[in-house]
Structure 1
Amino acid sequence: MSQIMIVLVDGLNYSAWLFLSAVGLTLIYGVMKIVNVAHGSFYALGAYMAASVIGIWTANGYPPYLSYLALLGAAIVGGFVVGPLLERFLLRYQYEKDEVVILLITYALFLVMEDALKLVWGVDPYFISEPYEYLGNFSIGDMSYPNYYLLMLGLALIVGLVLTVVLNKTRFGRMLISVIHDREISAAMGIDVKKIFILTFGVGCSLAAIAGAFTAPTISVTPGLGVEVIVLSFAVVVTGGLGSLPGVALAAFIMGLVRAFCIHYAPQLELFVIFSVMALVLAFRPRGLFSLAEARKI
């Protein structure tokens, strides 16, 4: 029984990370129909900003229990400053072009941002383990786990709950759903589609940065951090269904548990198990586990 619990804890932790890493990507696609390859760079931006903020926080002896708010604030500022600027002055003028063109533009943004991160923070690794160590550990059987796992799981649940409430229970959410189904009719009905787009892109980029910021204390923050993230996030989003919030949650949960099982019982499969799950799902459901309804063209 203890071994099963260990697999479950590892799986839930990785599922929470996958969800946090991918939810911003699916949000942007759901509303704007953009596969934002630069998503990985915003993840890296959040990690680097977290490294800088926690470094300053620790050096000045600020209360360690407030460092988690500092992580959150750094990520939101980074995502909501850079993201809307890119949408306003670059992407806004590309929406009428083919989706492949926009995909290539976001890929170019990814390359530019990766080099910009190197120019600002250099190529040396950053280590900020203080928030990770401060919360202590809990035990399951003979295994000890950091309580930081619980923080990541709680953050994923809060993000999912807030997005669900906003989308289904608020006026802004109803406008968002309207834009998702038909942006032209929405604009004709008086909805400011440009404002919806810039807010959506800002929120999506901030969610990627939040994932990076809260992952930073558990890893070495180095150049190229966003490459793996965009690949894994895309796998999760495609498996769940492009633009589907429940889909990305379910896909992250399944992939996290399957990966944890492989690590403990068949470690030789760990490297490609996530992509195997994606291939298996798409073989039977080419549009993913869930998919948004598309407006019927007349």
Structure 2
Amino acid sequence: MAGLITILIDGITYASWLFIVALGLTLVFGVLKILNIAHGSFYALGAYAAASFVGWAASMKWAPGLSLVAMLLAAVAVAALVAPLTERGLLRFFYGRDEVLLVLVTYAMFLIMEDVTKLVWGANPYYVSEPYSLFGNVDVGKQSYVGYDFALVGLAAVVGSAVWWGLNRTRIGKIVTVVIHSSEIAASMGINVSRVYMGAFAVGIFLAAIGGAFTAPMISVQPGVSVGVIIVSFAVVIIGGLGSIEGAAVGALIVGLARSIAVHTAPVAELFSIYIVMAIVLMFRPEGLFQRIQARKI
């Protein structure tokens, strides 16, 4: 029983930050119809920026609890700086073009940002240890867990609820929904589609960055951290269905539990377990668990 609880807690903890990152990926695809290969790089930028902001906060003698504020500000800074540069400076020139071309463009962005992070932060790893001890330890049965992991689960619930509420219960969300269904009709109704694209892309980057920022205390922030993240994030959105918030949540939970089971029972199959689950889902639901098959437009 203790082993089952451990697997469940580890799976949910892993799924929490993965859901935040995958949510940004599926939002960008749902609105802009772009399969963003560079999404993992935004995660890495958030992690590096959080390391820098937390270090600066410590040098300024901020209270330890304010390191969480520093990580949030890091994610905001990444979204505010990177979103206009990438969306206005590059992506908007390729809207409406072939999907394969957009994939190649975002892959080129990924390669560029990998080198940019090395130029800015170097090749040595960064460690953000201060926030990880803020919530102490939580005892579950005979096992003791780090409280920060449970706080991350709470953060994922808050972020997911906020995005769902924003899309389904606000006027801006209704406008975004119109653009998702038909950008041409939205433009004919007087909606500034370009502004909607910019806003959706900025939110997507912010979600990737906040995922990286609040995961930074749990990992070693170093070059290459974006590669594994984008691969697993794609698995999540493919399982759940591209463009679906509910699919991102369920997909992250499935991936997290599959990985946790593999880690505790057959560690060598950790990465393989994610792909086998994805393959099984696609065998029965090629469009993903929460995505309906759409009629092809001629």
TM-score normalised according to structure 1 size? 0.96
- Kindly report which structure 2 residues correspond to 1:8-19, keeping only aligned pairs within 5 A, or say none: 8-19=8-19
Aligned pair 1:88/2:81, yes or no?
A: no
Deviations 1:166-209 (A, max 9, x none): 11100111111111111101110111100000000011011000
1:15, distance to aligned residue in structure 2 (A)? 1.0
Paired-residue identity, %: 53
Letter in 1 for 2:87: E
Structure 1: 5+ residue stretches without partners: none
- Structure 2 residue identity aligned to 1:163: V
- Stretch of structure 1 that moved more, 13-22 or 266-275: 266-275
Report if aligned partners of 1:87, 1:198 keep a CA contact under 8 Å in 2. Answer: yes
1:97-132, CA deviations, whole angstroms, 9 ceiling, x for partnerless residues?
Answer: 101101100000010011011111111111111100
Establish whether residue 116 from structure 1 lines up as the match of residue 100 from structure 2.
no
Report the 3-state secondary structure (helix = DSSP H, G, I; strand = E; otherwise coil) of the residue aligned with 2:138. strand
Residue 169 of structure 1: aligned partner: 169
Residue 292 of structure 1 deviates from its aligned partner by 5.5
CA drift of 1:25 comes to 0.4
Q: CA deviation at 1:218?
A: 1.0
User: Aligned partners of 2:171, 2:189: CA distance in 1, in Å?
Assistant: 14
Q: Shift of residue 29 of structure 1?
A: 0.1
Q: CA deviation at 1:271?
A: 2.5
Does 1:98 find its partner at 2:85? no
Instruction: Return the offset for 1:275.
Output: 1.0
How far apart in 2 are the matches of 1:269 and 1:262? 6
Alpha-carbon contact 1:182-1:295 (below 8 Å) kept: no
Question: 1:122-201 maps to which residues of 2 (within 5 A)?
Answer: 122-201=122-201
- Cα offsets for 1:38-61 (capped at 9, x unmatched): 101100000000000111111222
- Superposed displacement of residue 7, structure 1: 1.5
How does 1:136-285 map onto structure 2 within 5 Å? 136-285=136-285
Structure 1 position 61 matched with structure 2 position 61: yes
Q: Find the residue that maps to 1:144 and give its secondary structure.
A: strand
**CA distance 1:170–1:46, change in 2 (3 Å):** same
> 1:266: Cα distance to partner?
3.0
SS in 2 for 1:270: helix
Give me the CA root mean square deviation: 1.4
TM-score using structure 2 length: 0.96
Give 1:143 deviation, angstroms: 2.0
Q: Which residue does 2:43 correspond to in 1? A: 43
Secondary structure of 2:139's aligned partner? strand
Runs (5+) with no aligned partner, structure 2: none
- 1:23 lines up with 2:20 in the alignment: no
Q: Give the letter aligned to residue 17 of structure 2.
A: W
- 8 A Cα contact 2:235 2:278, kept in partner: yes
Mapped partners of 1:274, 1:67: distance in 2: 33
Residue type at the aligned position of 1:205: I
Q: CA separation of 1:265/1:21 partners in 2, compared to 1, >3 Å: closer, same or farther? A: same
Shift of 1:296: 7.1
CA–CA distance in 1 between the matches of 2:292 and 2:206? 23
Preserved CA contact (<8 Å) 2:11 2:259: yes
Deviation at 1:297?
4.3
Look up the SS of the partner of 2:191 in the other structure.
Answer: coil
Change (3 A) 1:13 1:20: same
CA distance in 1, matches of 2:189, 2:71: 39
* Range that drifts further, 266-275 or 178-187: 266-275
Moved more, 45-54 or 66-75: 66-75
Distance 1:103 1:267 in 2: 32
User: Does residue 1:107 correspond to 2:107, yes or no?
Assistant: yes
Q: Would you say the 8 A contact 1:181–1:295 is kept in 2?
A: no
- CA distance in structure 1 between the partners assigned to 2:295 and 2:187 by the alignment: 16
